[in-house]
Chains A and B, each alone.
Chain A
Amino acid sequence: MYAQLVKSEGTKTREEMTPEELAFQERIDRGEKIEPKEWMPEGYRKTLIRQIGQHAHSEIVGQLPEGNWITRAPTLERKAILLAKVQDEAGHGLYLYSAAETLGVSRDELMELLHAGKMKYSSIFNYPTLTWADMGAVGWLVDGAAIMNQVPLQRTSYGPYSRAMIRICKEESFHQRQGYAIMMKMAQGTPAQKRMAQDALNRLWYPALMMFGPSDKDSVHSAQSMAWKIKMNTNDELRQKFVDQTVPQAEYLGLTVPDPNLKWNEEKGGYDFSEPDWSEFYDVLAGNGPCNKDRLGARVKAWEDGAWFREGLMAHAEKAAARRAQAAE
């Protein structure tokens, strides 16, 4: 997902747990929320920093593929909508960074880890947005997949993370719907527009499926995260749900999901579908996707170009505080 491959610390059986760890696990099992400053296992804290950090980075880097089209939106209204959507994503990043900060890491530290390539963001944002139809497909599929993952995370065990998710979920529905509305417009437009919509779906379908992370059989970190309720569903469960929800939406648009093996399976009450190319997924995560260099480069440039501004405002604030202190003497 937005946090696709979060390495979690080893799983312990109840017998192996210390009394503190056991009491902690029981709190989680009872559905209690864990709050900052309360005792927590070091592994829980570290895994959460990685996961929330990765999620925050995804929101921030995720602004880039859509930001790409703000200056070229087809109408002023569409431009305003896209701008509002991208601004929401900045907000999502900020909610999440501050949730991570309650665990004893600073936002600047997380930024530095991202810029040094030591923390990841979702693989999806390493794909290019080539046409206006991609703005439709991104909202529909990418935000759609994000919603699938974020809705259950509202019940996650860590209080600040859960509250950030609740805020985010309130705003996501707008994102998906504005995307689908673009797709409807394109799919019902001229033949050329419909071709653009189909092309966007063709390019983004498998990368969207990859957002849920590797198949359960290869997902080594799930068990502990699920016990701690920082992961609520397995990758395959969510991917299946996403496919089941999205296929009828594609049909409504009159578009074809680019999967010859896609077939309704009456017995399981869901679609059978082809898995994405996992070697491509690992390759993109390793930094070799079509846009990895551009995306990270843009973030580093923004950070470096903004340094004088951050420092200037801080210097101004310190001077003003000193002046106030002097006046009060």
Chain B
Amino acid sequence: MSKEWPLWEVFIRGQHGLNHRHVGSLHAPDAEMAIMNARDVYTRRNEGVSIWVVPSAQITASSPSDKGPLFEPSNSKVYRHPTFFDIPEEVGHM
């Protein structure tokens, strides 16, 4: 029984100056081949200038059921947004 090639997550920088973005995943025996495969699978039309691959098993994700408690602290801090403060018009742009 053969062993399945491990799964890799692929991140691509679309253009210089932008962040790498997750684009999908693929199977490859090792990192080097994962980059080669990512080139063929995800950048056939010049979609990238740089590729990162990460073994999927190495990704730690927040748990969907914790969504409420995890993000609640930021929900309650409306003063973090500039529109919380009323600045008189005479002051000018701020």
Residues of A within 8 A of B (CB): 35, 37-39, 84, 87-88, 91, 94-95, 98, 101, 106-108, 163-164, 167, 171, 307, 310-311, 313-314, 316-317, 320-321
When C-beta atoms are compared, the residue in chain B nearest to A35 turns out to be B64
Contacting residue for B24 out of A37, A38, A87, A163, CB 8 A? A163
Whether A314 and B24, one on each chain, are in contact in the complex, defined by CB atoms closer than 8 angstroms, is no
Q: Flag whether B7 is at the interface (Cβ < 8 A).
A: yes
**Interfacial chain A residues near B7, Cβ < 8 Å:** 98, 101
On whether the beta carbons of B5 and A310 are closer than 8 Å, the reply is yes
- By the criterion CB–CB under 8 Å, are A88 and B44 in contact? yes
CB within 8 Å for A39 and B64 given contacts A94-B41, A98-B25, A314-B29: yes
Contact B2 A107 (CB under 8 A): no
A320-B61 contact given A95-B24, A163-B24, A314-B5, CB 8 Å threshold: no
Q: Bound complex: CA of A324 vs CA of B52, how far in Å?
A: 20
B2 in contact with A307 (CB, 8 Å): yes
Contact with A along B37-60 (1 / 0, CB 8 A): 000110011000000000000000
Residues of B within 8 A of A37 (CB): 61, 63-64
**Known A-B contacts A35-B64, A37-B61, A39-B64; A91 and B44 likewise in contact (beta carbons under 8 Å):** yes
Interface residues of B (CB under 8 A from A): 2-5, 7, 24-27, 29-30, 33, 40-41, 44-45, 61, 63-65
Q: How far is the CA of A243 from the CA of B60 in the complex (A)?
A: 48
Give the one of B24, B29, B30, B40 with max A CB within 10 A.
Answer: B29
Let me know if A38 and B64 touch, CB within 8 A. yes
Contact check, B64 vs A98: say whether CB atoms are below 8 A apart. Answer: no
Q: List 5 additional A-B contacts (Cβ < 8 Å) besides A35-B64, A95-B41.
A: A163-B24, A310-B5, A313-B5, A313-B33, A321-B30
A-B residue pairs, 7 tightest by C-beta:
A317-B30, A313-B29, A317-B29, A38-B64, A98-B25, A108-B4, A314-B29
Q: How far is the CB of B21 from chain A (nearest CB, A)?
A: 11
B23, chain A: closest CB distance, angstroms = 8
Chain B residues whose C-beta falls within 8 Å of the C-beta of A38 in the assembled complex: 64
Nearest-CB residue, chain B, relative to A160: B24
Residue of B nearest to A109 (CB): B4
